[in-house]
Structure 1
Amino acid sequence: MGVPDALEPFRTHAADALVAFDFDGTLAPIVDDPEAAAPMDGVAAALERLAARFGEVAVISGRPLAFLERWFPEPSGVTLVGLYGLEARRLGERADHPTSGVWRETMADVAGLARMKGPEGMDIELKGLSITLHYRRRPELEGEVIAWAEQIAGPTGLRARPAKMSVELHPPIDEDKGTVLQRLAGSHTGPVLFAGDDLGDVPAFQVLDELRAAGRGVLAVVVDGPEVPGALRDRADLLVDGPAAVADLVLALGT
């Protein structure tokens, strides 16, 4: 399927359409320093323009909401969902998941423990309601980081999720990119697009499958790259080559 044909239903039914994107590896290139990640040039402004025409434009990410708002400050019109659904800003209103607040102290405690007793060389990113344990700068630590995350998850009640060159620790709340996309899609009647590149995006692609089976128009965009799992490529209606190609797709949606 070519890009123009794939995007035509979204242009035709823009007012009822939902278009949603992962951030890292999709809108923004993967970088060694998570704080240095930034969307491709022009993408943030292009998504804001789309938000004025489409039913809804969303960024659904494992990043904290505060980080996403660096690039999409109000009044951008772009829905932002952070920490896999634990934080959100939609229609100008900010909200945390109703059962998430009690876990902030636990996360801070676990981050402190990781600094003191975790594998030496592991990078620790505390996100308020989640923690990412990175081994991108020290790939030889992969086994140690995974083992440490699984070891600490049990007694603290947290859940460990694999990610690109990292492990994420989350509260035991049944919330992910799939539940988020399902809720957002329920607010619209038109076609649904989701673009992602990582294991954390799989639940969203599963929701696209369910919507497709129910007769809804969908477009699964997988952003290819050296770290993209082969099983994720198999889910693609449209396979694009990295964040630069996603930027082109965003611009094409607006034409």
Structure 2
Amino acid sequence: MPVSIIRYRTQLPAPRTRIMLEQNMFTFLLDGEKTVHFAGTQVTVQPHQFVLLAAGNCLMSEKIAAHNADYHSILLLFSNQELADFFDRHTPLLGTFSKQSGTHPFLRFEKDVFLTNFVHSLDYMLADDKIFHPALQKIKLEELFLYLATQYPGQLQQIRNMSYEGGEEFMIRQAVTSHIESNITVEELAFLCNMSLSSFKRRFARIYGNSPNKWLLEKRMERAAKMLRYDNRKASEIYFELGYENLSSFIQSFKQIYGITPKQYQLNV
């Protein structure tokens, strides 16, 4: 369907999950927290905000609010054709389109009074599994676009530019440098770059002269060393933050790079 409005609710917090968005998507968060990772950036959304995500590959994680047992959101999905049609019909309002590169694949908005009531209207129309007529769904998308066009014209223009350009090397460099301090895996990086694992490893080695696993290990252990040296934190306090499920695996990785244990490293410096 060119436009779909659906409710999503769960009591199970979702870990980082690979998502292939075939359409652009507004996420209106009602309860909980959502974090979305792209190749070169990431965005976290709270209930007082909503986000527009461009179609493509991303990683999503969801957290349940402490005061509520549910993660609850309303999703509004639409095709690029619907977007192009809106811009074509409202050129006088939106002005001349200027194509740009390097913009983020998302737009995040703060909910004002109108937008809060707009989400309430969607919530009401989805209540008790009511049938949401396709024509009405298109009208609600039009309503939202028109409001954003009048209140946030600069941001709405960016919707047309929500794509990565600059070639595969640019995308790989963005992906790895923006996720050095996260516990993302090489397989997930390849997914974000829309490449097979073998292709990603081959192109990564051509750019950096090293395997992605070794390169990321070195960078993360550099970060660990700084935390041990300057923040005076213990290995038992930082291993999970660095993406390790247990302390022994972290110690083994640290020894692989520095030749000594984290404790010995702290004593030496």
Q: TM-score, normalised by structure 2?
A: 0.26
Larger RCO: 1 or 2 (CA < 8 Å, sep 6+): 1
